[in-house]
Amino acid sequence: MTTKIASQEMKSLHFTPRKPAMTPGDKVVGAVSHTALTIWSLIVILPLLWTFMSSFKTSSEIFASPFALPSQWRFDNYIRAWSEAGIGSYFLNSVVVVGSALVIVMVLGAMCAYILARYTFPGSKAIYYLMLAGLTFPIFLAMVPLFFIMRNIGLLNTLPGLILVYVGFALPFTVFFLFSFFKSLPHEITEAAALDGAGEWRTFFQVMLPMAKPGLASVAIFNFLGLWNQFLIPVAINAAGPRVLSQGLAAFAGQMGYAVDFGALFAAVTVTVVPVLIVYVIFQRQLQGSVSQGTSK
């Protein structure tokens, strides 16, 4: 991180060799801005640090003083959370469900967006609006009927059922985002591919899909975050099935009122938060760039 900032500063120095003089007003504004932003950063970071620190403490240590460092860095909280509370298996379930749903929705979404963006046929507008409807209505409206649909096709409380529903609900966003992306790709390339004898399938998989890579990456990151954080769908249609992480975490916290093991709860939260944070820090450039794309189109 620091090296990145440093290199940015170097670049700006390189392009503007004459550093503009700071007026006293600038200094005041700069100082005020830095203070405000630092306070805000502390408000973000402190709760996370506190959670991390508490995950190494025993319950009695947590209640004795919220600030004191743990007397020793013990990992039994993590072991208890991972195996006894089942966070380990929930984590694995989440990886399987989110991973499969992500792959399926990216493929299906890209295909659907490609057809809608590239071909006009009777009903294409209607399909487009159908997608819009799926984005507009709250998921809550669908929960009761969805529960019975899943029961009738025998996929209630199963991971494959959860995967299919995830795909369905992530589809409209994926299609919308990629729709504008495929629209912006030049038509000449499809024609060139057709002249060279490529069929529709080949054109899509070997020409268009590779060109859409940046768009696909952005959507995939957003879908990953959205699905990994999904809570309502699993608690509604997977209440008695193998739990995913968000669901398992809530259940674990729910028992807390009776059997107090706060250290393990903090460890469980840390296990949930840290992988996503790492993914984010690695991909943050990509993600911040796509925030604006995703919402302005």
Partner 1 sequence: MTSVKAKTLRVGDGASAVVVPDTAPPAYKRRRKPLTFDKISFFVVFLGLPLAMYILFVISPFAQAFYYSMTDWSGFSPNMNFTGFQNYQKLFTDDIFMKAMGNNILLVIFLPIITIILSLVLATLVTVGGSSKGQIKGLRNSSFYRVVSFFPYTIPAIAIGIMWGQIYDPSGGLLNGLLTSLGMDQFKSFAWLGDKSTAMIATMFVIVWGFIGFYMVLFVAGIKGIPAELFEAARIDGAGRFRTAVSITIPLIRDNIQTAYIYMGILALDAFVYMAALNSGGGPDNSTLVMSQQLFFTAFTKGQFGLASAMGVVLAVATLIFSGLVFLVNRLTGGDKDVSL
Residues 207-246 contacting partner 1, CB under 8 A = 225, 228-229, 231-232, 235-236, 239, 245-246
Residue carrying structure tokens 């809550």: 140
Q: Is 279 in the site for partner 1 (CB under 8 A)?
A: yes
Q: Is 267 in the site for partner 1 (CB under 8 A)?
A: no
Q: Which is nearer to partner 1, 217 or 279 (CB)?
A: 279
Please spell the DSSP secondary structure of 61-105, one letter per residue.
Answer: HHHH-SSSPPSS---HHHHIIIIIS-HHHHHHHHHHHHHHHHHHH
Torsion sign, CA atoms 254, 165, 182, 283: positive
Residues 130-159 contacting partner 1, CB under 8 A = 130-131, 133-134, 136-149, 153, 155
**CB 16, min distance to partner 1, A:** 7
From the list 77-85, 176-184, 212-220, 249-257, the region that binds partner 1 by CB under 8 A is 249-257
Q: Which of 171, 193, 219, 264 binds partner 1 (CB under 8 A)?
A: 171
Q: Is 284 in the site for partner 1 (CB under 8 A)?
A: yes
**CB 71, min distance to partner 1, A:** 16
Residues 30-59 contacting partner 1, CB under 8 A = 30, 33-34, 36-37, 40-41, 43-48, 50-51, 54
CA 1 to each of CA 159, 284, 285: distance values in angstroms, whole numbers, following the listed order? 38, 11, 11
Q: Which is nearer to partner 1, 3 or 72 (CB)?
A: 3
Residues 9-28 contacting partner 1, CB under 8 A = 9, 12, 16, 20-23, 25-26
From the list 80-88, 123-131, 176-184, 207-215, the region that binds partner 1 by CB under 8 A is 123-131
Buried b / exposed e over 6-25, threshold 16 CB at 10 Å, is eeeeeeeeeeeeeeeeeeee
**CB 250, min distance to partner 1, A:** 5
**CB 148, min distance to partner 1, A:** 7
Measured between alpha carbons, how far is 188 from 245 in angstroms, rounded to an integer? 46
Q: Is 259 in the site for partner 1 (CB under 8 A)?
A: no
Residues 85-114 contacting partner 1, CB under 8 A = 100, 108-109, 111-112, 114
CA 281 to each of CA 46, 224, 243, 246, 296: distance values in angstroms, whole numbers, following the listed order? 18, 14, 27, 21, 24
Measured between alpha carbons, how far is 120 from 132 in angstroms, rounded to an integer? 18
Half-sphere exposure of 199 (CA within 13 A, CB side): 1
Whether 227 contacts 296, CB under 8 Å: no
